[in-house]
């Protein structure tokens, strides 16, 4: 006999939803607000959802992305607000261990990408969604996902490397405060 409820399948996805939301919003409070919104809607729609477990994550990501879109449209309608994208200058680097600097540098570079570029890097490269699933989440054709990936990777590469290729071994770490 069972005395405790097994965790809801959506509950297990929360860490990944928060991560995706943070990649979009770049702000913890906004991101968590977004996840709360997404989960509430997903639970309300749960009964009518028809899909297997493998499709759960893309489904949730799509809801979250749609909620984000809606929010963005609302934000844009308010001229007094600075968009997070424009305000999103990464934190100052205060020195410390190389590893920390490196992570910070990646963080700073990511902040300079567009939200869609960050999202596509996360969805495909980290979450392992298929191109097709990613296209559905972002509401664009697969071809757009592919070119968006290429642009995001090139941009991140140039942000991390300073000037274009310049594959100078460990010396590459000296240009941490690259502008642009």
Partner 1 sequence: MTGKPAAITEPDLVAYVDDRLPSERRADVEAHLALNAEDAARVAAWQQQADDLRVHFDRDLNEPVPAEMAALFAQRPSMPGPLLRMAAVLALVLLGAGAGWYGRGVFAPVEIVAALPQEATRAHLVYSREVLHPVEVTAKEEQHLVAWLSKRLGTALKVPSLSGQGFGLVGGRLLPASSGNHAAAQFMYENRQGQRLTLYVRSGEGGGDTSFRFTGEGNAVAFYWVEDGFGYALTGETGREALLPAARAVYEQLTR
Verify binding: residue 100, partner 1, rule CB under 8 A.
no
| 60 contributes a contact to partner 1 by CB under 8 A | no
6 burial (CB, 10 Å; 0-12 / 13-18 / 19+) is exposed
CA distance 37 to 169: 45
Contact (CB, 8 A) for 116 and 148? yes
Q: Residue 97 or residue 167: which is nearer to partner 1 going by CB?
A: 167
Residue 53 is classified by DSSP as G
Return the number of the residue (48 or 94) whose C-beta is nearest partner 1: 48
- Rounded to the nearest whole angstrom, what is the least distance from the CB of residue 146 to partner 1 in the complex? 4
When binding is defined by CB under 8 A, the residue of 84, 93, 101, 106 that contacts partner 1 is 106
The reply on whether position 53 binds partner 1 by CB under 8 A is yes
Is residue 108 exposed (0-12), middle (13-18) or buried (19+ Cβ within 10 Å)? Answer: buried
Told to check if 41 binds partner 1 by CB under 8 A, we report: no
Residue 6 binds partner 1 (CB under 8 A): yes
Residue 137 to residues 2, 56, 110, 134, 171, Cα–Cα distance (Å): 37, 12, 20, 5, 39
Give buried/exposed letters for 157-169 (b at 16+ CB in 10 A, else e): ebbbbeeeeeeee
**Which residue stretch of 61-69, 73-81, 82-90, 103-111 sits at the interface with partner 1 (rule: CB under 8 A)?**
103-111
Could you give the CA distance from residue 24 to residue 71 in angstroms, rounded to a whole number?
A: 11
Closer residue to partner 1, CB minimum distance, 79 or 91: 91
**Interacting residue ranges for partner 1, rule: CB under 8 A:** 1-3, 5-11, 14-16, 18-19, 22-23, 32, 35-36, 39-40, 43-44, 46-53, 56, 102-103, 106-107, 110, 121-122, 124-126, 130-131, 143, 146-147, 149-150, 153-154, 156-157, 160-161, 165, 167
């Amino acid at each position: 006999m069972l005395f405790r409820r097994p965790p809801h399948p959506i509950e297990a996805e929360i860490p990944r939803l928060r991560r995706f939301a943070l990649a979009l919003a770049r702000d913890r409070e906004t991101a968590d607000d977004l996840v709360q919104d997404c989960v509430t809607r997903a639970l309300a729609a749960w009964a009518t959802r028809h899909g297997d477990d493998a499709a759960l994550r893309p489904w949730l990501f799509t809801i979250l992305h749609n909620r984000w879109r809606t929010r963005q449209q609302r934000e844009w309608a308010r001229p007094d607000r600075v968009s997070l994208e424009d305000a999103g200058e990464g934190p100052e680097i205060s020195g410390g261990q190389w590893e920390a600097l490196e992570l910070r540098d990646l963080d700073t570079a990511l902040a300079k990408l567009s939200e869609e570029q960050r999202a596509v890097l996360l969805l495909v490269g980290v979450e392992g969604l298929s191109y097709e699933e990613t296209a559905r989440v972002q509401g664009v054709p697969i071809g757009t996902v592919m070119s968006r990936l290429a642009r995001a990777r090139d941009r991140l590469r140039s942000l991390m490397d300073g000037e274009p290729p310049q594959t100078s071994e460990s010396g590459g770490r000296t240009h941490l405060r690259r502008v642009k």
